[in-house]
Amino acid sequence: MRKIYYLPITVLFAVFTSCSSNDDDVNFLDGTGITITDDVECCSAEEAYATYTFLQKYKEVPELSKITDDGKYKVTAYTTSGTLHKGYNDIFFVGTKVATGNYVKSISIRNFLPLMHMKASDMYHSTPTSSNINVFDYSILPVQKGWVSFVMNTSSAGDWNISYDASIVSNELSVSSKVNVDKLLDGQDWIKSFKVGDNTYHISLINPDEWSTGTNSILAYITKKSANIKEPWTIADEVYTVEIVPTMPDMGNHSSPGNESLVKQNDKKYKGTINLTMTGLWRIHLTIKDSDGNVVAGGDNLSDGYSSLYFDVTI
């Protein structure tokens, strides 16, 4: 269902009073740097304000942003911190008109490809990604969304490059740039691999940075390594159930009640419930079962009695 993005009445009043029909060229919001003009390519004052407000939660990734050859338009990439890290990252794209700073309505991103160069072997491989980069829940906004989940961080062993093609209004551009992928802090481990037969899968934890003590939704994607490892590894068609047992290894491995297995949803996310009763390091042990209930990954016991397939999350 499309979400409707409502603006407060006071904001709408400010927008409309500063952008009257008598003004041909007006800055509608101080500090944004956006100019509203009578331009069918660009957003209205309301749309521009809503987009600007949404993007305040994110920061530009300069390496993945680019101006078209004619200098008229810019495609800008955003993540939460303006950087990338091992594991799951949301990534957003918008197009702007350079002369006014306003957001354009027509932008598409395709052929998004993260690629790691392994230096010792001089080989390349990709990593889990969304199948497409396109409009999402905030579809009233001219924002494109995708995600990438890096299986490893940048190190002396290898470098990451991201490339993509974009269409913005009537312009085409291509971006290809080396990017730094940071390692996660100690006590954080949000992506794990497992094998089923000859196939390799990855389970990527989506939202651990949003968790607090108490009951939380736990979200993940399961992706399948492509036959050509240089191609993106997209969401697996197979349906699994992921049983979870959270423990605190620094606190005698005590667990918590009220946890529910992750089940695949219509949007292809896996969703469950996790109860984190206190702050600290939580080790989330995973047992993955196929549609017939057979254990295909995890479920084997370490010396402490828990599955050797696990995430680490510190809250």
Alpha helices in the chain (DSSP H): 9-18, 45-55
Alpha helices in 4-75 (DSSP H): 9-18, 45-55
Phi-psi region of 207 (alpha: psi -120 to 50; beta: other; left: phi over 0): alpha
The conformation of residue 276, written as its DSSP 8-state character, comes to: E
pLDDT over 60 at 22, yes or no: no
pTM to 2 decimal places: 0.90
pLDDT over 90 at 231, yes or no: yes
pLDDT at 302: 74
pLDDT at 15: 41
pLDDT at 219: 98
pLDDT at 139: 61
Band of the pLDDT at 301, cuts 50, 70, 90? confident
Decide if 221 contacts 236 (C-beta within 8 A).
Answer: no
Q: Is 96 exposed, middle or buried (0-12, 13-18, 19+ CB in 10 A)?
A: buried
Decide if 11 contacts 52 (C-beta within 8 A).
Answer: no
pLDDT at 1: 40
Which CATH number is associated with domain 191-314?
A: 2.60.40
pLDDT over 90 at 13, yes or no: no
Predicted confidence (pLDDT) per residue in 137-162, tens digit: 656 789 999 999 999 999 999 999 99
Domain ranges (residues) in the chain: 9-182, 191-314
Residues 6+ apart with CB under 8 A from 24: 37, 38
| C-alpha span between 175 and 184 (Å, rounded) | 26
Residue 237: count other Cβ atoms within 10 Å of its Cβ: 8
The β-bridge partners of 199 are 196
Mean pLDDT on 169-180: 96
Q: Say which amino acid occupies 144.
A: Q
Decide if 261 contacts 219 (C-beta within 8 A).
Answer: no
- Of the two residues 302 and 169, the one the predictor is more confident about is 169
Q: Which tokens belong to 133? A: 């980069």
DSSP states of 160-186: EEEEEEEEETTEEEEEEEEE-EEPPPT
Residues 6+ apart with CB under 8 A from 200: 193, 194, 224, 225
Task: Give the least confident one: 8-17, 125-134, 255-264, 280-289.
Answer: 8-17
Q: Which tokens belong to 201? A: 């899968």
| C-alpha span between 60 and 281 (Å, rounded) | 31
